[in-house]
Structure 1
Amino acid sequence: MAEEYSRDLERAEEYEQLTARATAIGKNKMELSTGLIIAARYADKLRRVALVAFSRMVPKDIIIRDVSELNKELYEKIVNEMKLDKLDVIKIVVDAEYDDQNKKLVFSNLRIMRYYNEDKIRKMCKEYEDKIKSLENEVQNYKKKVGQIEELLKSME
């Protein structure tokens, strides 16, 4: 655990110099973004982004503790609700605010965006086109049945 912690701190410092993934949106409040990542890497990336964003105002142990709680919630959503594969490309954006009174990071407005590759989009389009054709055929069959019923009613008059 200590090795992971020090590795995350090193990477956080590197990220801070290379790219900003956090945007200030108020006093002690930041919008954190993982950027495009594979789903399997969300926990590491989010922890590192939070370390970069809050390391000057929040003790690191609080950041790590609170981000791990958020990561548990994210796991539930990503794996069980959204049923994403480890290699699916996602982007996570969340607002985080440091509550100085309770010594806690408070997360809100969580957004998980899923990105599809071109092959997946083509496959989905084909499935929808097939479904549309099937529904159009059903509609035509119902129209024929309605026409037959109308003719039957006319002949009964």
Structure 2
Amino acid sequence: MTEEIGRDLERVEEYEHTTSRASFLGENKVELSTGLIIAARYADKMRRIALVALGRLVPREVIVRDVAELNKQLYDILVNKMKVGKLDVVRIVVDATYKEAEKRLVFSNIRVTRYYTEEECKGLAEGDLKKRVEQLEKENNKLKDELKKIRETLSAVIREAE
């Protein structure tokens, strides 16, 4: 057993008493939530929560094996799809169903929420506003050009009519 998993097992009892981040949705189905964490800690947190929530229902080897697979999926979502930085704050919620006959956990309905600081929100809003202003300026210039062409055409028609 790796040092990391051993440390997690030691913390399971503490987690049971301090933080319940799991909601039972039905027989052998649990919703696991990391709460607010920095992205760099998601794998440890998810493993610990699964060990706490499912430790009495599912063998530890199964939890560790299947959560490792889930963490690979989460890495892809966080790093490749969402471009989340290591120190960004996220919340991960996932449904876990234990398939007893197959001796495996099936994870579904993965939800990752990224939280932004006030400064990041202002930056995003300003960036969106700048893009919108540029877009409106382009449209305005296009309409001015069309109006100029219409005036020229109208002036030519009036000159011919005189």
TM over 0.5: yes
Mapped partners of 2:89, 2:2: distance in 1: 29
- TM-score for both structures, normalised by structure 2: 0.92
Paired position in structure 2 for 1:10: 10
1:88 shift after superposition? 0.8
**Percent of pairs with identical residues:** 52
- TM-score for both structures, normalised by structure 1: 0.95
Paired position in structure 2 for 1:57: 57
1:51 shift after superposition? 0.5
1:19 shift after superposition? 1.5
Paired position in structure 2 for 1:21: 21
Please identify runs of 4+ aligned residues in structure 1 that moved more than 4 A.
none
Paired position in structure 2 for 1:132: 132
Mapped partners of 2:106, 2:139: distance in 1: 52
Mapped partners of 1:2, 1:147: distance in 2: 73
1:35 shift after superposition? 0.5
Mapped partners of 1:24, 1:120: distance in 2: 35
Count of residues in correspondence between the two structures: 157
**Does structure 1 residue 88 correspond to structure 2 residue 58?**
no
Specify the structure having the higher radius of gyration (Cα).
Answer: 2
Which amino acid is the alignment partner of residue 76 of structure 1? D
Partner deviation per Cα, 1:81-113 (whole Å, 9 max, x = no partner): 211111111111000000001000000000111
Gaps of 5+ in 2: 158-162
Paired position in structure 1 for 2:67: 67
Mapped partners of 1:51, 1:153: distance in 2: 77
Mapped partners of 2:76, 2:144: distance in 1: 48
Which amino acid is the alignment partner of residue 27 of structure 2? K
Gaps of 5+ in 1: none
1:80 shift after superposition? 1.5
- Secondary structure of the corresponding residue to residue 57 of structure 1: coil
**Does structure 1 residue 47 correspond to structure 2 residue 47?**
yes
5 Å-filtered alignment, 1:29-44, equals 29-44=29-44
Mapped partners of 2:134, 2:155: distance in 1: 32
Paired position in structure 1 for 2:145: 145
Mapped partners of 1:116, 1:11: distance in 2: 29
Mapped partners of 2:114, 2:38: distance in 1: 10
Say which is worse superposed, 119-128 or 37-46, in terms of deviation: 119-128
- Secondary structure of the corresponding residue to residue 53 of structure 2: helix
1:11 shift after superposition? 1.5
Which amino acid is the alignment partner of residue 85 of structure 1? G
Say which is worse superposed, 62-71 or 119-128, in terms of deviation: 119-128
**Does structure 1 residue 108 correspond to structure 2 residue 101?**
no
